[in-house]
Amino acid sequence: MTVKDILSLKGSQVLTIEPTATLAMAVKMLAQRRIGALVVTGADHRIVGIISERDIVRMLDERGTVVLDTPVAETMTRKVVTCAQGETIAEIMERMTGGKFRHVPVVEQGRLVGIISIGDVVKARLGELEQEQDAMREYIRTA
């Protein structure tokens, strides 16, 4: 199964935020949309960063609630690891485990075309395991 297969099931919508938006705005979006991260995009829709709930919790712990008025650009991670639609679930799992993050934006020819979360990866992998199990049962039954 590939990233493209996952996107064809969940869709290509990605919630983005501007680097000049405040952390309070990011918190509102994360809470209302029940997601864990926002891709930060510039005026030309290019990815300039990613901000996750963990970044915000860390900043709140370090600096207190005053950070809620600061721009997202000051808290986001700038070096974003992305993937392409043709990559496999196994490759994405490896990237998430190696980088210790749970979100990977999908980029095609410089354009943001989706996002894969750890939840998507686990769901897809469970589906694959179920299929493999069914195939094995059928093989044993008809052998």
Q: Using CB under 6 A, list all residues that contact ligand AMP.
A: 36-37, 50-55, 77, 80-81, 99, 101-104
Q: In this complex, which beta carbon is closest to ligand AMP, that of residue 40 or of residue 124? A: 40
Residue with tokens 């590939």: 2
- Whole-number minimum distance, CB 58 to ligand AMP, in Å? 8
Closest chain position to ligand AMP (CB)? 52
Detail the DSSP E strand segments found in the chain.
16-17, 37-41, 47-52, 103-108, 111-117
Buried b (16+ CB within 10 A) or exposed e, 44-81: eeebbbbbbbebbeebbeeeeeebbeebbbebbbeebe
Q: In this complex, which beta carbon is closest to ligand AMP, that of residue 4 or of residue 102? A: 102
- Whole-number minimum distance, CB 49 to ligand AMP, in Å? 8
Q: In this complex, which beta carbon is closest to ligand AMP, that of residue 47 or of residue 124? A: 47
Q: In this complex, which beta carbon is closest to ligand AMP, that of residue 26 or of residue 101? A: 101
